[in-house]
Amino acid sequence: MTVTTTATAAPREKQTEPKTDPNYQRRRRARRVLVYAVLIAGVVPTVLPFIWLVRSALMDNNQMFIAPPEWIPHPFEWANFSGALTAQPFARYFLNTMIIEVFTVTGTLLTCSIAAFSFSRLRWRGRNVVFGILLSGLMLPQAVLLVPTFLMWDAAQAINTYYPLIVPAWFGGAGGGIFNVFLLRQFFLTIPYELDEAAYIDGASPWRVFWQVIVPLSKPALMVVGIFTFIRTWNEFLDPLIYLNDSSKFTLALGLASFQGTYNAQWGYLMAAATATILPIILLFFFAQRYLIEGVTLTGVKG
Amino acid sequence: MKTKHGVSGQSRLERRWGLLLAMPAIVGFIVFTLVPMAASAVISLTDWTIGSAASFVGVDNYLQMFTRDPLFLKSLGVTTYYTLGAVPLTLIVAFAIAMLLNAKVRGLGVYRTIYYLPTLVPSVANAVLWLWIFNPDFGLLNSTLRQLGMPTSNWVFSEAAVVPSLILMSTWGFGNIMVIFLAGLQGVPRHLYEAVAIDGGGAWRQFRHVTLPMMTPVLFYNLVTSIIGTFQVFNQAYIMTQGGPNNASTFYVYYLYTTAFTKSEMGYASALAWALFVLVMVITVVLFRSSRRWVYYEMGAAR
């Protein structure tokens, strides 16, 4: 096998001499140029909507509706931000969102990590079957649960409260949250079991092993789950829409949607408000970029 | 649990703690997934509308969907149309860019960050932004097209263009899938490419015989999650088009939402939810079946 392949490959290499052949070099260089050309060409449509967003958020109405469009705001209309963010109580929406975030992120981190610990490092009968069943919930379109879950919260008289948005997080994130259990479990499996054993020999309980051995070693993975949960909660629209009626209880996403319904032609205001809801997430991303990219990587490749 | 040492104190400890720590996730699955599923199956057999008494109607709701409800078929068609457009387009763009980024590009991190940024935009802000981009008079798209002397469109305000417009918009968020692809590509062992190169294979054959087969598991993962995602499109329809014009963007979950929360027809909405569940299950099963023929799993990975 190897003999025949080298035999056929060798003469071809002789003929072209790839490393020195000017033709080959030229083709190679042409290909590099093409790669960069396409990548840069792709950056333009990716970035343009952001520029359009910021440019519109800082433009006054006179300049906004000039054709062909102008790109540099003149003057910079910072009043769009103050105007939009006070036209509806966005500070309140922000506060509401943060309250929900605190409880959702904490609950998800705690209950998902203890479950992942149980599914990866404690042996009990039926463990893998149970994990498999929980994992099957991932394939379930969450929209299917909309009506019955609403009726359940309605029966519990919890409509127009934050309970429907927070409580599921304290039960393994519920629904799509099992994904976090999966992710953390994958990470926990990479930690050598000898560490647990040593602690058990010293008389530690499983809780202490979890809290003093596994958690300190899993900060990057916990960070990823925390950030993903934060972003998902920040973006959540359908649940707040269904469960929250009082505008004083609205989240940012819900507030922005209702703002859009009221000020639907005030593009300066709308873009300023949109920018204000996007900015915190972008800042969070730059702060935690390394963890995030790693997290996405972990989900796809090992999944 | 049978271990070499028999049932020890340790294994009893693990069993007790194992169940305890997994309990929140298990309870969450039962309360927030299993029970709602069962409840909605029962409700789907009634004609319950909030505010009036419910009576048992058997499978009438399901019959109604297929025989007396043109909007059901319409929403199914619209959602399928969207899925068939958005999923392949996003996957191809994401894969192509990931391939380019994998070609030892200088400044990889910068490109990756730029392409990833749109996926961070919260979906409500995204909808508001794109509504302005699609604005027929002063939006980014028509302004640009007009300047280039090209034909303009009414985008989401036209019955024929609304779904293609939303597909275009969804492509902006290809970054998440791209990052997963890129991680997969970086995991392809170099020696496989070298083997093909030694056999005299060029770039195309390396792609066809190494990259593509090695990437099929990642491709499969992205395909399944994308399809489940596109079948649940809601925010765009709610914020941008209200299902219009002329129901051309009445996506399935939007239709389900209006049935349940505008018309209060909980019985019929539950039937719609179950139909969606069955549909997504069928698609998933078919995909998994087909995956045996085209998804390549390395033997070493299976344990």
pLDDT in tens, B136-185: 988 899 988 988 888 888 899 989 999 999 999 999 999 889 988 988 88
Among B207, B104, B208, B178, CA closest to A32: B104
DSSP conformation class of B51: T
Residue B284: its chain A contacts at CB < 8 A?
139
Q: What is the DSSP string of chain A?
A: -HHHHHHHHHHHHHHH-TTT-HHHHHHHHHHHHHHHHHHHHHHHHHHHHHHHHHHHHT--HHHHT-SSPPSS-SS--THHHHHHHHHTTHHHHHHHHHHHHHHHHHHHHHHHHHHHHHHHH---TTHHHHHHHHHHGGGS-GGGGHHHHHHHHHHTT-TTSSHHHHGGGGTTTSGGGHHHHHHHHHHHTTS-THHHHHHHHTT--HHHHIIIIIHHHTHHHHHHHHHHHHHHHHH--HHHHHH--SGGG--HHHHHHHHHHHSTT-HHHHHHHHHHHHHHHHHHHHHHHHHHHHHHHHHHHH-
Sign of the alpha-carbon dihedral angle for A258, B230, B169, B109: positive
In 3-state terms, what secondary structure has residue B56? strand
| Residue ranges, chain B, pLDDT below 50 | 1-6, 299-303
A47–chain B nearest CA distance, Å: 7
B160–chain A nearest CA distance, Å: 23
How many whole angstroms separate alpha carbon A202 and alpha carbon B148?
Answer: 75
A92–chain B nearest CA distance, Å: 18
pLDDT of residue A175: 58
Cis omega before residue B245 (within 30°)?
yes
Count CB neighbours of B47 within 10 A: 18
Put simply, the answer to whether A238 touches B234 (Cβ < 8 Å) is yes
How many whole angstroms separate alpha carbon B52 and alpha carbon A288?
Answer: 51
pLDDT of residue A102: 95
DSSP conformation class of B120: G
Is-contact B204 B124, C-beta < 8 A? no
Q: Which of B3, B4, B17, B99 is the mutation pick for testing A, counting most A CBs within 10 A?
A: B17
Which of A130, A141, A175 is the closest to B277 by Cβ? A141
pLDDT of residue A295: 66
Put simply, the answer to whether B180 touches A301 (Cβ < 8 Å) is yes
Q: Which residues contact B26 (CB under 8 A, 6 or more apart)?
A: A130, A134, A172
Which of B14, B37, B129 is the closest to A123 by Cβ? B14
**Among all residues of chain A, which has the CA nearest to that of B140?**
A52
CATH number of A88-262: 1.10.3720.10
Tokens read off for A285: 């991303």
pLDDT of residue B188: 86
pLDDT of residue A20: 66
Residue B260: its chain A contacts at CB < 8 A?
146-147, 150
Residue B31: its chain A contacts at CB < 8 A?
171, 174
For chain A, say whether B238 makes contact (Cβ under 8 Å): yes
**Among all residues of chain B, which has the CA nearest to that of A227?**
B120
Tokens read off for B116: 């990833």
Residue the block writes with tokens 């996730």: B25
How many whole angstroms separate alpha carbon B139 and alpha carbon A69?
Answer: 9
Is-contact A259 A84, C-beta < 8 A? yes
H-type alpha helices, chain B: 9-29, 35-43, 60-67, 70-101, 108-116, 123-133, 140-147, 162-171, 175-186, 190-198, 203-206, 212-230, 235-236, 252-257, 266-294
pLDDT of residue A9: 40
**Local mean pLDDT, 10-residue blocks, chain A (303 residues):** 36 50 81 89 92 90 81 84 87 95 94 94 91 86 88 92 94 78 88 90 91 90 88 92 93 92 86 93 86 64 42
Residue A210: its chain B contacts at CB < 8 A?
21
Find the length of chain A: 303
In 3-state terms, what secondary structure has residue B35? helix
What residues does B46 pair with on adjacent strands?
Answer: B56
Residue B14: its chain A contacts at CB < 8 A?
122-124, 206
For chain A, say whether B8 makes contact (Cβ under 8 Å): no
For chain A, say whether B22 makes contact (Cβ under 8 Å): yes
pLDDT of residue A297: 62
The complex scores an ipTM of 0.86
A53–chain B nearest CA distance, Å: 7
For chain A, say whether B28 makes contact (Cβ under 8 Å): yes
Which of A122, A173, A235 is the closest to B18 by Cβ? A122
Is-contact A99 A106, C-beta < 8 A? no
Which of A52, A254, A278 is the closest to B121 by Cβ? A278
pLDDT of residue A166: 94
Is-contact B177 B91, C-beta < 8 A? yes
pLDDT of residue B92: 95
CATH numbers and ranges of domains, chain B: 1-43 (no CATH), 61-301 (1.10.3720.10)
Residue B276: its chain A contacts at CB < 8 A?
141, 143-144
pLDDT of residue A143: 84
Put simply, the answer to whether A237 touches B124 (Cβ < 8 Å) is yes
Put simply, the answer to whether B117 touches A206 (Cβ < 8 Å) is no
The amino acid present at B203, given as its one-letter code, is A
Boundaries of CATH 1.10.3720.10 in chain A? Answer: 88-262
Residue B227: its chain A contacts at CB < 8 A?
none
Residue B26: its chain A contacts at CB < 8 A?
130, 134, 172
pLDDT of residue B25: 92
Torsion, Cα A99 A101 A104 A105, to 10 degrees, reads -130
